[in-house]
Amino acid sequence: METRQRILIVDDHTLLRAGLRALLSQDPGIEVVGESGDGRDAIRAVGQLAPQLVLMDLTMPGMNGIEAISEIKRRYPEVRVLVMTLHKTEEFIHASFEAGADGYILKDATHEEFHVAFRNVLQGKTYLSTDVSAKVISGFLGGGKSRVGTSVFSSLTHREREILKLVAEGKSNKEIALYLYLSVKTVEKHRSNLMMKLDVHNAAGLTAYAIERGLVVT
């Protein structure tokens, strides 16, 4: 009997996860081994369930998808990751692949395209949906002007992105320090670096930047 491919679904919307599970269950070669609603839980689930493929949303409470992809790839480089998202901007596309994603598909894709996408990624190929490919090509033809914002975001460290998200969620330096097991002084240093890199001067500016890039759910 042929071994079935093991898939983990990561999305904070319960109904969407249920729909994906139902769709995938129609394929006899696929086994959905689990579901996660946020990035931190997804990392734990990958370690416990050993999937071959992770279907990853990007905008989730707690740790977002891009951070989760980076950590999953660091710990389990053999695991394939297919991003499924509503975000069509180059910033999210580039950030996802820089984090280690193996494919990128939009949530409004057809069932046929979805099957082509996850099959290609499972076979070791890189998959880009048609709309995404067009945006990437357009960015290069436009001289890369639309990627300026991406380069700034890409310069942020994993810890800086984590703190940026927590600041945008309204947490104080002390709360962030407790959450991340850091000293308050270390958190203050990261916030200072963030403001310098992003050219903003207060928490409101950091929050606006995080919301604009989908790091927090509004």
CA distances from 82 to 21, 52, 123 (A): 15, 11, 12
Question: How far is 54 from 37, CA to CA, in rounded Å?
Answer: 13
Q: What is the pLDDT of residue 148?
A: 43
CATH architecture, domain defined by 5-140: 3-Layer(aba) Sandwich (3.40)
CB 127, CB 82: distance < 8 Å: yes
Which pLDDT score is estimated for 2?
60
Position 146 scores a pLDDT of: 46
Tell me the pLDDT of the chain (218 aa) as tens digits.
468 899 999 999 999 999 999 999 999 999 999 999 989 999 999 999 999 999 999 888 778 898 899 999 999 999 999 999 988 877 788 888 888 999 999 998 898 999 999 999 999 999 988 777 766 655 554 555 444 445 577 778 878 888 998 898 889 999 999 988 999 999 999 999 998 888 888 888 888 888 777 776 55
Intervals of CATH 1.10.10.10 along the chain? 156-212
**Which residue spans of the chain are classified as CATH 3.40.50.2300?**
5-140
Alpha helices (H) along 100-157: 111-122, 130-141, 148-154
Q: Which H/E stretch holds residue 6?
A: strand 5-10
Amino acid identity of residue 6, one-letter, is R
pLDDT of residue 150: 52
- Provide the whole-model pTM: 0.68
Q: What is the CATH number of domain 156-212?
A: 1.10.10.10
Residue 118 near residue 124, CB atoms below 8 Å: no
Rounded to an integer, what distance in angstroms lies between the CA atom of residue 19 and that of residue 194?
38
Identify the CA nearest to 193 among candidates 161, 150, 149, 145.
161
